[in-house]
Structure 1
Amino acid sequence: MKQVITGLLLAVGLWLLPGEAAAGGINELQELIEETPAGGELELENKTYKGNVVITKPLTVKGKNGTKVHGDGTGNVIEIESPDVTLENLEIRYSGRSRDTSEEFAGVRVLDQNITLKNLDIAETYHGIYINQSKHIVIENNTIVGLDTSSLGDMGSGIHIVRSGDNHIEGNFIKQSRDGIYVEYSDNNEIIENTVQETRYGLHYMYSNFNRFEANKFIQNTGGAAIMHSDNIELRNNSFSYNHGSRSFGLIIQGSRENDVIDNEFYLNQRGLYLEQSTSNMIEGNTFFKNKIGIEVWSSTTSHYFIKNSFHDNSSDVIAVGGKSNNQFFKNGVGNYWNTPMLDLDQDGAGDREMASTSAISQLIEENELVYLFLESPAMAVYEQLNNLLSGQQTMALDKYPLMKENPSANEAWMFGGAGILVAGIYMWKRRRRM
């Protein structure tokens, strides 16, 4: 009789808890982790495993196509508390979302060094990946999609790095998070070839120095990248595009110094590059194309050099706000490329006259930020033209050595060449008359 009752109870239990039974119990993945020897490899099946699990020894955990680790919505789905751990080919879902706790939860939380996270598919988590006081972390080729919520406070970062250095972040796709990649008090990190879209800030640096940031793409964010209170950052070959809003930007540098912004592309942003309370940054070889404002420089920004940058079809190439500041748009006889016809009769590669980028709207911007909404309106164009006629324009940038286009079109070449011949002819004719 006891055996019959036991069998009935077991059958009822299996009927009530089919998920746990099919998956081998809520602690199946944790048990597999414990059973795998230190330094070993755990290969998971293409099924759903229950999180929340903790890894406390060196280990490689690999999934197959369809391997899923789903948390219970109350903590970190996978927490790593050991060095030399690799996670690969896993779908990770459902971390805790509450902010009324001592920590902010993540799909993967890393608390040690020499960790590799690659080919992970992370969604429905507060933070995607959270790195805390760790070094030598490799984060490659992951897809991280944030929570589908309209409340910014309910969203974490795609990758959140705090007090961690010497990490390599490459080839990740991040979407719909508060900040795509957040870096705080963390030096010597490499962030390469990532794509971030539909976030507040695609990249957000705070008090982090000597980081390299190269070949990333930031698309349709409120702000592409924000470099704040961080020095010696190298930003090279990145693309900032379609970052729109009343005060949006491709890149902001604030309270920072000695950063190199080189060979980046700023396309269709509210403001391409925004500079405030910063000093001694080099802005070189960048392209500013079809932005409402190419570069906005506040008077608190000083000792910057702008050279070899190219400006095309922006509503305003440069706006200087708050008064004059000590910045130079040339260095050692090298200036910038402006979308303005000019002559180079001595063929030295620079225009024969200095180039002054002028505007009358900087005072309006300083007084009311709503002006940003009307930069492309006909009224603003009329305002600029009237001030130009009445000599009310102010010089926003003075380039004493404006560069000629390296490859002018056939029409431009004919026009400039013809103008040169004409001027030379007039000069020779006047000289002959004096003789």
Structure 2
Amino acid sequence: MARITAPSTEGDQATTVLDLDEDVVGCIAAYLDHKDIEQLRLTCKLFCLNLQRVFGSRFRHRHFIFTPYSMEAFVSMSAHPILGPWIESVAFGTYRIAGDPDIVVPGVTDHSPRQLSFTKQWEMLDLQKLRFNEQTQFIASRRHRELLTQALKNLMKHRRSIKLGTFDDIVSCTGDRLSFQAFSGLGSKRFYENTFLACRSRDSYETLGTLIKASRQASYPMEHLNVALHCGCRTQQYGCKHDWGKVSAWLNDFLTQSIADGTSLVMTVANRNSKELYINRDQRLIAFRGECLQPRSIRHCTDGFTNASFGRLGIAMYADEYQNIEISDCGVQWSPFIRFLTQHASTILTLRLQRMLFWNRTWSIPFLETALELPHLENLIMEEVFYYNNIDKELKFIVVGKKEWRGSKDIRSGLHDLIEQQTPSIPLDRNGGWIDEKVLRGASSLHSCR
């Protein structure tokens, strides 16, 4: 029997974690908690270098608020040699502390959130006034804009172009002013804790204006802008709303300047109900997602797909040139939508419709005829496009599943088929339903008697 001998280990050294490749160490670190990585980086120089990528990547998406602590932290982070180059997106909260106690608590004695004691409520109000004065003075002195400008200049030194935007601080705000999920902005807990939450205390206008002014002051190329609005929440009894007129004016000014300069821009305007307007100037793309074309679109009480729907922003939207138009999960009114298509008829190359609803059958035919007249349309994609029949009270499909047409000849043939399918053999009433045949015969015989 052959003798099996173990290989000699003389002179060999046991492999330690310090001998592992940087990629292997990074994979291990990906499963560690953030605090553990901080401690591990302090153990030796090798770990400090190897864990820079994993450590820095956890700071890619940051939320800040307009308070001294939060904004100074942003400046320090942007100047940091490890953290600064990893920042990809930064958003700023729209929430402001209300200074008027009547806004916050309508009568301290007769309104006790969570049955707080009378003394505790007054302590909270005193703290609220103190923090309100601090935040008001900080913003009035424009110190928040100065710090933001400095942070953007620091990021430019790292050659980083990041996404800037706003976010809605209060994730869930109900009738109980103390019932809310955690704020996500850095420094939010230490600043807003133990204060009454006033749902109406939001200022998207100031937040957005500060971003645009600071970027211009720093000569920072703001190519990505994400605006999150607090719309659609069940807080109307507290007057919860954004001043959409002012916000849309800022957006219109920003988009108009981008069009004039011919610069790149990706802009998203969305609210918590997943209604979203998306514009990508490099791709010449505009997308309407999640019912933003309906009445009550981006903001409350709008008039469908019109300039009024998008406030002042609609002016710049109509002025820009789009080659690709996408509509998904939307219901539309045909007349204003056709005006938009006609306005951009000379540039549209691709039209994509997904889960799109016409509120009336008679509205679908003018749309199909308008699409037929687009002179340069090269791609038409329709997926689950339907209309609502008021007579049967049910949805009727125009396109079942997904259909794609490429080239003008194929598109014209497909649209002619759809128009023929949708054109009724007997007239439709004004609600898009079939006219009863007996009524039709009666009207015909009355006409023949004349």
TM-score by length of 1: 0.38
Which is strand-richer, 1 or 2?
A: 1
Between 1 and 2, higher relative CO (CA 8 Å, sep ≥ 6) is seen in 2
Which is helix-richer, 1 or 2?
A: 2
